[in-house]
Structures are given as C-alpha cells and as structure tokens.
Amino acid sequence: MMKVQPKHLPCIGVCCLNIAAKVVEEECNISSTQELIRISQCKFTVSDLSRMEKIVSEKLKFQFKAITALTFLHLYHALALSYTSEGNERLNLEKLEAQLKACLCRLVFSKAKPSVLALSLFTLEIEALQSLDLFEIAHCVQRHLKIIPQISTLPWYTTLVPLVLVLGMTAIKDLVDDLARHRMDREVNNRKCDVLLNGRFQESKWMDIHVGDIVRLKKNDFIPADILLLSTSEPNSLCYVETAELDGETNLKFKMGTKVTHERLQTEHQLANFDAMIECEEPNNRLDKFTGTMKWRNDRFPIDLDNILLRGCKIRNTETSHGLVIFAGFDTKIMRNGGKTRFKRTKIDELMNYMVYTIFVLLILVAAGMAIGHTFWYEQIGSMAWYLYDGKGGNSSYRGFLSFWGYIIILNTMVPISLYVSVEFIRLGQSKFINWDLQMYYAEKDTPAKARTTTLNEQLGQIEYIFSDKTGTLTQNVMAFKKCTINGCTYGCEVKYFMQQIYKVAPLHFFFLAFSVQPVDFSWNVHAEKTFKFYDHGLVSTIRSGKDPEAREFFKLLSLCHTVMVEQKEDELVYQAASPDEGALVSAARNFGFVFLARSQDTITISEMGVESTYEMLALLDFNSDRKRMSIILRFPNGKIRLYCKGADTVIYERLHPDSVNKENTQSALDVFANETLRTLCLCYKDITEEEFQAWSRKHKEATVTMNNREAALDRVYEEVEKDLFLIGATAIEDKLQDGVPETIAKLAQADIKIWVLTGDKKETAENIGYACRLLTDEMQIHYGEDVNEKLQAKQQNRRNEGPINRLQRKVNEPFFPEEGKNALIITGGWLNEILYEKKKKKRKLRLKLKRRKHGLNVPSSPQDNLPNDEHEKEQRQIDFVDMACECNAVICCRVTPKQKANVVSLIKKYKKAITLSIGDGANDVNMIKTADIGVGISGQEGMQAVMSSDYAFAQFRYLQRLLLVHGRWSYIRMCKFLRFFFFKNFAFTLAHFWYSFFNGFSAQAAYEDWFITLYNVLYSSLPVLLVGLLDQDVNDKLSLRFPKLYLPGQKGLLFNYKNFFTSLFHGIFTSLIIFFIPYGAFLQTMGQDGEAPSDYQSFAVVTATLCIFLTNCFVDPPFLQISLDTSYWTFVNCFAVIGSIALYFGVMFDIHSAGIHVIFTSTFTFTGAASNALRQPYLWLTIILTVGISLLPIIFIKFIAKTIWPSEGDKVQRKRKQYEAEEVPVKRPTPFRRGVSGRRSTYAFSHSRGYADLIASGRSIRKRTTARKVPARIPEVSGAGTI
C-alpha cells in the first residue's frame, strides 16, 4: 500500500482535491463524499480510483461538472503519486494514464459526453505531470477549462496547435539528447573482454559481465569491473596499472596476485576449476581500502587493495592478466565515487521563474478586475438590454465568475508555453557554437571544446570566482631538467636569458649572435633523448673532461638513487617512475652520460660515460611525505659502501656534516631557483664503514619485522644513518606552465573575476607557481595561515567582548586589511581544518605541543586554539574567513583534500551568493567541479574523470578566457535580449484584449482572429527573436577579449532583472495602447473609397494584428522597428527571418481568409474576405504607418539619449569599433624570472606517495634481463670546455 501526505503537496494539489470533493458532494450521495474523504486521508489505491470513476460517471449527469470532477480528481491523484513520502509499492504513471484513458473513453460513449478532444488533452496532461512543472500544470488546467463552452470564448485549436508543435519540438530535442547519451553508454557497454565460459575464454561484452566471472585482460585493456587479480604473465603475478581515471596520477602503480593463486591458476583448465568463496566488504567508494578473505581448499587467505584491479584503470606493461569479478556495474568503486549529481540552474532561470509567478499574479488580478467589471456591466446594462440576451442565464455574480475564467484563458498568452522551449533551443544553439569554435580546438591531441550541458551557457557570462587546480590545469604536469648547482657552481641558463645578455653586451650584433646560440649537442651519447634541450655547454664539457669529480658524482647519484623501473622496447630504454619529478632527474642523468640500464632485487646497473658498472644495493630507504627524502646504500665494485640521499633542502640542511662545504653557495642558488619557480632537490652522500653498516643492518632488519608501529620503527632506524651528510649540489626542474596561462589570468583579473588556486601540492611549490602565472606579484602583501588565524581570533575575541548594542553600532564591514595595496592569501589544509570543521589533529600531538610550551619552546600556535563556543560563532568565523579572502586579490589553498576543495567552493556560494566556476583535470577535482555552479574539465595528462563530470571541457587552460569573455558574454547578452523582447512582444500582443474589454462589456471576447492567436507565437513572431538569441553580438570576439571590462554587466546582472522586466511590461502596455486606440480612433465614423464603412470588427482585428506583427518583427530603414532596434549584429539570416515572418503572416492570413477554405470548414474559418477587404483601403495603410511612427519615435529618442549621456562600456567600444579592429594589439612579453626577492622558498620536488622501494627490495618486480644488450664503447674524454 502506498501512503501519501497531502500536506506536502503544492497548493494546486489541495485545490484539485477540494474542487472534486465539492462537485461530488453537490451531485452524489453522502457515501461518495466519504469515499473522497478516505482518499484525502492517504489510504487510496488503484481500486479506489476505479470506484470514484464509477461514482462520478453514474451519479453526475451534467457534462460540465462530470468533466470538472474527474479532471481535478485525477490531477490530485497524479500530484499525490509524484510526492510519495513512504511505502513499499510505488504506483506507476503508466497505470494512471491507462485509467484516465479508460475513464474518458467510457465518458465519450456515455450520455454525459465531453468533447472527444478531452482524450488527447488528458494524454498530453500526463506528460506535463510527469515533470511536475507548475507552469505546465497551470496550462493543463487552462486547457481543460477551454473545452467548457460556458467559460471559453476561444476554440480548442488556439491552444492545441501551439501545444502540439511545442511538445513535438521538445520531444525531438530530448530524443537527440537521449540518443547521444545512449550512444556513449552503448560504446562503454559494448567494449569487449575475454570471459571464461564452458572451460574456455570467449569474447564477451562488458554489459554481460557478472560477479563471479573469470576474465582475461591484455596489455592496454581497460578494466571492466573491480577484479581480484589471480595471476599474470609476469613474475610473481605482478601487474602494472595506470590509475589516471581514478586519482589523476599518470605514473604506473603495481598490483599483485596472491602467492597461492599465482602458483595454481595459470592455465585455462586450472582457472575453470577455481571454486573459491570470496567474503569481502560491501560496495563502497573508498578507493584506498579493500578488505576481504578468500576461502579455498580448506584454507583462508587475506585480500587487500594490492590484490584488486579497480574499474577505470588500464593494464600497462603486462601482457596477460587473469582475475575474478568482485564488483560490477554500479557497485564498482569508480561508479560509487561519482558523487551526487547536483541539478544546476542558472540565475536567469531562477529569475525567470519568479517573473512567471509575477505574471500569474498580474494575470489573476487583471482577470479578477475584468470579472468585477463584467458583473457591474451585466447588472447595469447587459441584463437591461433585450438585444444582448445570449440565452445562458444566471445572475451577475455567476456570469462574473465565468468571465474570470474566460479572461484567465484569453490572457494566458502573456506567458506562452513556447517560452521555456525557445530558451532550450537557444541554449542548444549556443552550445553548438562552443563545440564548433576552432580557436578552442587543440590540434596536438585532436581535442575540440565540448559543451556537455545545454542549460548553463548564459551563466558563463556571470562568473565572479574561479577555483582552479594547479598540476595539469595551470601546468603541463611535464617536468624538465633546467638547472643545477654542483660544488658551489651553477649551471644551466634559459635561451631567453642568453638573448637578454647578448642584447645588453652587443646590441648591434644581436641578430647575428642570437642565431649562433644553439643547444648542447648530445650526439656523443647514444642513449640521449632527442627531445632534451640544454643550453649550458660548460656543464657537458666539465663532465666529459673530468675536471670536477663532483660533477660526475652528482649525476651518478641521480642514476642510482631512485625507484624508477626500466624496460627495453626496440633498443630504446623506457622509464616508469613513481613521480614525474623523479623520472625527469633520471632522464637528465641519462642525457649527461650516466644511464640507468637495469636493476635486480639487489643490484643496479648503469653506464658511466660509456662504461657499464654494477652496484650492489644494500638498502633502499624510500620516500614518504613525512621524511621528504629518500636514500640508497650501495656497495661499489671496489667494495666501498656509500649512502646517497636526495630530498628537500629543509630536511637535508638539518642533517649535513659541520665540515660540509658550499652550503652558502648552494643556498644562494636555491634562492635563485625558487624565484624562477623551479622545483628543487638537494643531493648529498656519506661513506659508511663495513662495521657501521653491519650494526645498522641488524637494527634495520629488526624494524622491518616488528608488528607494532612498523613505520615509526623504520623511521627511527633511517634517522640513525641519514646524518653527517656531505652536500654535492642541488637540482632544479621545471613544471612547465601551459601556454597562455599568465595572459589568461591577467585577462580574467581585468574582467573582475577572482581566481583561487586549490591544490594538493606543498605551499612552496604552489606559491612559486602563483608567481610564475602572475597570480602573485611583487607588490602584493602575502598573508599565511598564521596571520589568518591571528586575525580571525582577534575578530572573534572583539566580538565576544562587545555587547549586542555596540555590535550593532559598529561598522558592518570593517576591512581586515585597512592598509593600501594588494593582498594575497596562502593557506594550507591544516589551517582550513578549523574553518571547515575538519578537526583531524590527534590528541597525542596536542599533548606533545603543550609539553613543549611548558619547556619554553617557541612553537607556532595551533589552528585548534581559541575554538568557537557554539554553532553561531562557528558560522560567523566562516563568514569572517570568506570576507578576509575576498578582500585579497589572490588566494592559494595548498595541501587541501578533494573534500576541502568542494567545501571552499561551498563557502563562497553560501556567504557571497556568487556564481562560481571550478576547473580541474583529475579525479581529485571531481567534487569541486560538481559543487561549483559551472564545472570545467581539462582533458589533459590525468585521465578523463574530470571531463566526464564537467559541464564544459577543453584541452588547455588558456581557452577559458574565450569561453567566458566571448561565448559566455555573448550567451548572456543574447539570452537577456531574447527574454526582454519575448516578454515585450507577448505583453503588446495580449493586452490588446484588455483594452478591447472596455468596449465589449468585459465579456472575454478576443480582439484578434482565432487563427492569428493560434499562430502568433508559433510562426509569426518566433523566428526573429530566436535568431537574436542565437546570433546577436555587440562587438566581435577580438574586441571582447581586448576589452575585458565588457564582461562586468553580466557579473552585476544589469541586462536582465526586475527593472528590465517592468520596463518590458510598460513598453508592452504602451505598444498595446498604440496598437488598439489609434486604429480605433481612425476607424471611428470612417467611410471607405467604395462608400462602405470599413469599421467592422473583422477589419479592425486584421489591422490591429498587422500592426502587432509590424511593430514586433518588421525591419524598415529608416526607421528600425522593435526587434531591429535591439539587434546589434545583422546578417542575411536575421534579415531573412524578419522579412520572411512578415511575408509568412500575409500569406497565411490571405489563405485562411479566402472563400475556398471557408466553404470546406465553414465553422472554423469565419473571416471570409476580411483581409482583402481591409487592406485594399489606402486609409488603413496610412493608419498602419502612423501607428508605427508614433510607437517607435519615443523608443528611438530614449535610446539616443541613453547612449549619448549615459553610454555603457559596450557603447563606447561600439563607437570606435572600426578603429579598434584596424589596430594591432601589442603583446607584452613576460620577464624570464623575478629578481630582488629576499627569502628562500623551499621548492623540493618529489612524489607525495611511497615509491617502488618495497617492491624492488622484495624482488617481485624484476624482469629477466636480456642476455645480449648492446653497450656503447667508452666515451672519450675532452680536455677543453666549450662555451659561447
């Protein structure tokens, strides 16, 4: 049984029930009323509906009341059905529709026959009810009222024809969208995979894979489900996977089958006999956790995440893998991680809905006024004049009631049903323009821009805040070795720096010398990469000559101290690194002659300047985010034991030997590298005696097998050996910015769009990228988390000390930064925890900090200090943080989680009511993208998960400025013009009925011919205004990008608001007055050329209709008419639409006014000869010209005054448009790096997750080395150092 709560229904549902109850109570016995009461108490079923149909059909003999009762009863039922709150059985709308059709069919052949049209109307009604659109439900009620002769003065086709056309076009659009969505789903579902069926592997589709199936995956295959890895073709059932679709990381990760399945499940026969039972956790969205147990052959085996292949990953470097499907379909972790899809609506949508409600209120008020007028008119005039008797009977109040509903019907075209459909078609066209924009097409990857939604285009022109990821969004996520410092000497210069120095020294010979600057020739190294560029010839000469042993030691360390995997493909070495930083450093060593060739469980083989050497690996101390370094202990071929270490400068300098040299020079170089936004690592070494190593090795072995807090035990052992290090130098690699990022950020800043960077990277890296992309400048005062915390605490304490009265008297918006100048905020996720209520600090750590304070140590204040007392204070603190951040010109949040990214976006939406845009390229950006008003996905290095969750997608960040400043601004302007003119033309058209009411006794008679009312919004006035919404533009795309200030009206909502709405309303009222009263005065006591009076109703209707078409559509030069006045960008299509609409109006009008069609359909086409009789009179054409002139002259005058005295930014640009188009925009060249900035910012480059150390040490990852491998002959040394 289904239970429904009527109190949760909209008001219209309760009204439907009350009307049906009233009708039944008047005409039926008391038992039927009790039935209806029982229904209202939420205890009805399908059988109850059938009984009510029977009662109403049998008891009610009057057609009007029968139809009314059934209509409102079924409306209530449909509404209640869609607002189910609890229950085990949900009724089906198809059953309800079948019940309605059956009921109506019975009524059609009963004595109380309604119109046969009711059957089709009820069918269409169900479609509207399924979407629960209040606007459609209201029109549904109006349609039912129209089939009641006592109320409606218009024939049925005036609504049915537009309704069918509108619903037909909507159905076609939805069909196209559904087909595209189905095509994408079908593409994924029809992917092929080998499944074990009947003892052998057979090709099957993804859609046919079920839990418990055994599948075979090959190299480069996508994983179709969450699968337990059983065995692979690799040693120890190792499997490499790419997880870009899951976590956005492009580096490979390894998975491994259990030992028992690796040994026993290699052949098809063994896999076919596999009969284990898997017990595991329920489906969830935890990508970092899996817990399960495999029961097989009377034994139990643990299963964890290392044994699971997750859907969305891709098999790499593994020829064949076998697995058992654990979760499939929507139970997979990637599907569970999709997050809640939020329904996004634009501000214009919300405003438009409120305006529709306003129009409904105006409609009811006007209809009520007309009903009161008809009541008084009938009492004083209508009932007294025998010649006005219409045979309907009834008193004046009853007739006034009927007149009210008649005006509801006749004036409903103020908001026609075509409005929302027209808006959808305009948005569809605007989306296509984005898809077709070749300037947003990225040729390198054959990636066009893609509008993945058609409902948010105009919102792109109102963006106030942009939240951007860093890696892969602002940067390319491609690392390049740029500079280094070795033994106190810095090497490596950019070619731009060379150009600047040449120009300073010899400006006259600049072009000749600049042409001579060439990159280093690495042809002497057969393993060198062709794409590697380095311009400092001195470093290569130093290495090859052997003058500085530290230089060779530097690159030897890079080739040995890492966790990179290597494989050989067609005589080419291919590296697989845990992070792109590490891969860049190993590749750099390779290009300078120290080539990493191979590794085994306990050896590493490299080529040192052409000489192959093998080192024994004694221990590998892997990197993690707490240690910020990694080390390796090697035994050299001569028996010497050495530790190599690389890591962040902040941790390396703490562990250097007091006698280590060049610390100051290296620190100075690090300052320069940091200013150039390069990512740095310090390199050092330490020699260890055999006795020292043996003693340490025993401690290390004990730590590796301890069961309690193993990681902490290992860290303590690592600390013992990683001390007293000797510094060699430091590396500097560049995470390259994408092309055009600084220029794009500058353009968007000029458009008053604030850009926040939300990244998971460390603070120093994020800060330097901020400088590189010009988000941060030297003039900005930067405030860090500590400053923010102090200011928030001070504000909170002041608020507590103030009384309520003083708080009200105090200034409302006191700035956090009263000083002049620009400010920037850089805050970490730890400080955001307090503001976003993510308190993850452990009590143990808090106690430790308190203990340190007792000893007098200077420890920074914790973000947990001075906590708010209650929820109100917490909310106020959030508001304070948002206000502080919004005062800054730039905000960077680093070390933030995906959830924190989404929470930051939510804060701005909640407290600033601003329109936000999020842009990212990885799966860790999905939550942020879905939370923002508009989400943009970058189809870059980190998979397609962000793109699949986004509203718009393209390949490069620089395309964002074109998306917003061109397409977004155009879409906003077009939509605003469309809505303003749409409301105007319908007010002007509909209110002519209002003025006509004063001359027809308020009897709800139409001022126009029925077919004109039917076709006005469908044929006569739809195309020109649609083309304005699709094609209009004030300035071209180049000027839109050149003048970002043109974007400001959209942010402020200046082009469409209630002021514009009421302007359109009064403009429509004025135009309707002109349309009606000037022809009325001209027709009064007029005689035509043939001696006949043309002042009949039909001629008047033809003239007013013609005037309405001319004033809303026509184009004449001079002057411009209404649609022409609002069109800024004229094309052949616009002209054809305006002229074509006029021609279509006259063609259709003369056809439906012809005698031939009247003979066929006598009662439908009654204006026989009206058009030809009226329009052949020159007097009437003069009336049309006079009316058009009087209507347009005030509008032209007002526009002229406004553009002359109060010109907008767009008006100013339009005046000089030709001059601007002829000018060439100068391109400002960025400086290579910033100078004069004090203070070193640590910019260490490392992966923030563990590497492959455990895997390497276990020996499970090692492939068999090829027996024959070519090693180049020893590279000859050179004595000279070539420089330019």
Amino acid identity for residue 1138 in this structure:
V
Tell me the three state secondary structure of residue 1230: coil
The residues annotated with a catalytic role in the active site are 469
Nearest CA to 905 out of 880, 876, 884, 925 is that of 925
Rounded Cα distance, 352 and 362, in Å: 15
Tell me the three state secondary structure of residue 484: strand
In the numeric block, which tokens belong to residue 725? 């290090």
Contacts of 1109 (CB under 8 A, 6+ apart): 1020, 1021, 1141, 1142, 1145
3 state SS for 625-673: CCCCEEEEEEECCCCCEEEEEEECHHHHHHHECCCCCCHHHHHHHHHHH
Amino acid identity for residue 396 in this structure:
S
Nearest CA to 1098 out of 1156, 1190, 1165, 1147 is that of 1165
Please answer whether residues 569 and 1235 qualify as being in contact, where contact means their C-beta atoms are separated by less than 8 angstroms.
no
Residue by residue, DSSP assigns 1254-1270 as HHHHHTTTPPPPPS---
For residue 328, the 8-state DSSP code is -
DSSP count for the chain of H helices, then E strands: 50, 34
In the numeric block, which tokens belong to residue 319? 């020829």
CA angle 1203, 1205, 1208 (to 5 degrees): 50
Supply the angle between the helices 763-772 and 663-675 in degrees, to the nearest 10.
50
Paired sense of beta strands 916-920 and 465-468, if any? parallel
Residue by residue, DSSP assigns 852-914 as HHHTT---PPPTTSS--SSHHHHHHHHHHHHHHHHHSSEEEEES--HHHHHHHHHHHHHHH--
Please answer whether residues 630 and 645 qualify as being in contact, where contact means their C-beta atoms are separated by less than 8 angstroms.
yes
Q: How many CB atoms lie within 10 A of CB 1227?
A: 6
Q: Is the dihedral of CA 214, 219, 222, 223 positive or negative?
A: positive
In the numeric block, which tokens belong to residue 105? 């069919």
Which ranges constitute the DSSP H helices of 488-596?
A: 495-505, 510-516, 537-545, 549-560, 580-591
For residue 184, the 8-state DSSP code is H
Please answer whether residues 278 and 202 qualify as being in contact, where contact means their C-beta atoms are separated by less than 8 angstroms.
no
Cis peptide bond N-terminal to 1118, omega within 30 = yes
Please answer whether residues 1102 and 1025 qualify as being in contact, where contact means their C-beta atoms are separated by less than 8 angstroms.
no
Nearest CA to 934 out of 962, 959, 970, 909 is that of 909
In the numeric block, which tokens belong to residue 661? 């040299």
Rounded Cα distance, 505 and 507, in Å: 6
For residue 1226, the 8-state DSSP code is P
Please answer whether residues 575 and 566 qualify as being in contact, where contact means their C-beta atoms are separated by less than 8 angstroms.
yes
Rounded Cα distance, 977 and 1011, in Å: 28
Which ranges constitute the DSSP H helices of 190-295?
A: 244-247, 259-264, 268-272
Tell me the three state secondary structure of residue 241: strand
**Across the chain, which distance is largest between two alpha carbons, in Å?**
130
Query: Strand (E) positions, 120-180?
Result: none
Please answer whether residues 751 and 1239 qualify as being in contact, where contact means their C-beta atoms are separated by less than 8 angstroms.
no
In the numeric block, which tokens belong to residue 178? 């559904």
